[in-house]
Structure 1
Amino acid sequence: MRHVSVLAIPRALGSALTIPLEMLTAANDIARVYKQLDKICTLEIVTVGQLECRLTGNLNITCDKLISEVSKTDLIFIPAVWRNPRAALNAHPELVQWLDRQAQAGAILCAATTGAYFCAASGKLERAQATTHWRFFDEFEALFPDVDLQRKRFITYSNGIYCSGSVNAIRDIIVHLINDLYGDQIANEVAQHFMHELKDSHATELLQQSQEGSHHDERIIQIQEQLQSRFSEPTSMADIAYHFGMSVRTLNRRFKAATNKSPTEYLQSVRLGQAKGLLKDSNLNIAEIAHQVGYYDSSYFTELFTKAHGLNPKEYRRLVRNKLFRVNQGR
């Protein structure tokens, strides 16, 4: 049985632990439902020093083991550390040594933002690509000049080490890893529960992200997340600009610079992406789907969908369902 270690470090962000724990627990549960018991992984929270660990926000957790008790593991999630990752790195040299030993034995490392400090300190990122939280770019580069820091990427992979530029980006990595560990069917189900947008291929989408499509403008990231979470609601860009303390002109300029799309174009792509999922997986009619994704004129929705995908919604539904039918026939 494969072993996964979710690392707890004092002052780590709780979400950097709970996201992999929740997603991999869901993958285990789905594997049990499908009676694919050979795919189930052992999940343990491991730590340094003592089993009681206090995270950011005064969140206390009781860990399963100390790292000194884990001689072999297959996958390690290293969390982001709040405010001063350099101090955390200096406080735990034994953690760096343990990561080095595990990586040499074949473990995959997955670092959320400043967790990359520990990977870099192990020497495993020398002349390899990595990323971290944008606030720490300069410090990280000064500390680890031999690491090829990717300032314009949210996700990197080199030498068996995944790094992410935001805690949220860790979800994409986890779904990719679940695809490898559990297969595409379970990865798709986990993605439906934990992610806004479903990817066509978890195995390839993750590592094909262009540098032009990634950015580290935190305010624009917050706006993107709001548009993703409220895509079905009537949206005024003037209201969004006011809420985030900028003019509409500044919003459009910064959004375009960060994403190569205007806010309106981005919202449209989110809505149409959601519509594709509903056309594939639901029996709602076209007008109902249009309403579900924020369009109250089904003719306008059909026009946008056709322009974006070269097929109208009915044609797209027929095509993807025919493909699914053929795939299922072949199993």
Structure 2
Amino acid sequence: MSFNITLVLCDKMLVSSSTLAAEIFKFAQSMAMATANPTRDLVVRRVSTDDLSVTTSSGFEIQPTHCLHETFRSDLIHLPAIWRNPRPIINRSKKLLDWISRQHMLNTVFTAVGTGVYFLAESGLLDNKPVTTHWHYFDQLKKSYPNVLLQRQHFTTKTGNIYCAASINAMAEIIVYHVERVFGRVIARQAQRHFFHEIRNLSHAIGYSDEEESSLTDEAIIQAKIWLQDNMSKHSPTKDLCASIGMNRRTLNRRFKSATGQSPSDYLNEVRMNFACELLQNTDLSILEVASFSGYSNQSWFSSRFKTWSGSSPGEYRKSVRSKNFST
């Protein structure tokens, strides 16, 4: 089954705010095919505000591949940033705005970057919902759409199937987050390694969500997460964790999974791997020492787990991030 991406085009759009999303997905599909990971056909379509070609902020002309009246499936619709004042573009985009509203009723995922969120706000899809945008347009957005819940302190927001990003870098993190959902975590890690200078925790891609997380209401699990972070270098911490918080393993596993969506061991693995990434990037410790500090007594087992988690060996990861840090 194919995964269908629709890129919205408009005059004065920033080209990179649109094409980068497609490039990240195309890279992920190529990596999945090359490494025999589960893959899906990827279909990328382009539509414009009035079905005509657009002229971007840098003077390039881009043609849409489809018209808004045509029937086709969109799993993800991506809205680009508009150069400078977005209001003139928004004011002449009624045809597109009606199409966006229809797509929203089909439970389609939307990603919007910078002033691209104006399309969603104008459609009424962000009323009483969290949103962010480029800092320069905070006040204008709030004045134009007083019912939106502007999150000035966050680079990314999520409300239902709508994801907003304040910048192109923040948008790229959201796109990689969706790559994981389509192609899996290993391929998403490979995409991170290719497009960013470091691997980050994918669960942190969304800065603010209006979906209340049960973990915030379970004090015991909050303490369990803190304990695992503080004691990750222990070789078998789960047993000690149960004793520390006064909970048997079965209850701990059930409540932890309910609150976080992960088992304690999976969460611990995430903590360890992210810490290992920091050590590989910022220190000259040997792989054995990185493994030990990260809670693994066996270097081979650590290397195997790291490759499963990231898609590359510890040595390959170190070489990759350092070459990006020091390249000119």
Judge same fold: TM > 0.5, yes or no. Answer: yes
State the Cα distance separating 1:33 from its structure 2 match.
1.8
Structure-to-structure mapping, 1:59-74, within 5 angstroms: 59-74=60-75
In structure 2, the partner of 1:322 is 301
Q: Secondary structure at the match of 1:58?
A: coil
State how 1:46-85 maps to structure 2 within 5 Å: 46-85=47-86
SS at match of 1:137: helix
Shift of 1:209: 6.7
1: CA distance, partners of 2:129 / 2:101: 15
Query: Larger RCO: Structure 1 or Structure 2 (Cα < 8 Å, ≥ 6 residues apart)?
Result: 2
Q: Does 1:123 align with 2:102?
A: no
> Residue 169 of structure 1: SS of its match in structure 2?
helix
Aligned amino acid, residue 207 of structure 1: I
- Structure-2 separation of matches of 1:42 and 1:63: 14
Cα distance change of structure 1 residues 275 and 327 upon mapping to structure 2, 3 Å threshold: closer
DSSP-derived class of the 2:147 partner? coil
The answer to whether structure 1 residue 193 and structure 2 residue 194 are counterparts is yes
Which stretches in structure 2 are left out of the alignment for 5+ residues? 210-272, 309-328
Q: Alpha carbons of 1:165 and 1:208: their partners in 2 closer, same or farther (altered >3 Å)?
A: closer
1:110 deviates by: 0.3
Q: Is the 8 A contact 1:279 1:317 kept in 2?
A: no
Summarize the Cα distance change of 1:6–1:106 in structure 2 as closer, same or farther, 3 Å threshold. Answer: same
Q: Unpaired runs of 5+ in structure 1?
A: 211-272, 281-288, 306-310
Aligned residues of 2:50 and 2:95 also touching (Cα < 8 A): no
Preserved CA contact (<8 Å) 2:81 2:115: yes
Deviations 1:65-95 (A, max 9, x none): 2222244311011000011211111010111
- 1:61–1:188 distance in 2 versus 1, CA, 3 Å: same
Counterpart Cα distance in 2 of 1:128 and 1:171: 22
* Map of 2:204 onto structure 1: 205
Q: What SS is found at the alignment partner of 2:89? A: helix
Structure 1 runs (4+) greater than 3 angstroms displaced: 34-38, 273-280, 311-314, 326-329
Counterparts of 2:28 and 2:168, CA distance in 1? 20
Q: Is the 8 A contact 2:9 2:54 kept in 1?
A: yes
**What root-mean-square deviation, in Å, do the aligned CA atoms of Structure 1 and Structure 2 show?**
3.1
The equivalent residue for 2:11 is 10
Work out the CA distance in 1 between the residues paired with 2:110 and 2:186: 24
Identity percentage of aligned residues: 28
Amino acid at match of 1:80: A
Q: CA deviation at 1:48?
A: 2.7
Q: How far has the Cα of 1:101 moved from its partner?
A: 0.7
Q: How many residues align?
A: 242
TM-score (norm 1): 0.65
1:241-260, CA deviations, whole angstroms, 9 ceiling, x for partnerless residues?
xxxxxxxxxxxxxxxxxxxx
2:40 corresponds in structure 1 to 39
In 2, are the aligned partners of 1:141 and 1:149 still within 8 Å (CA)?
A: yes
Match of 1:252 in 2: none
- Seen in structure 2, the aligned counterparts of structure 1 residues 127 and 37 have a Cα distance that, compared at 3 Å, is same
- 1:168 partner SS: helix
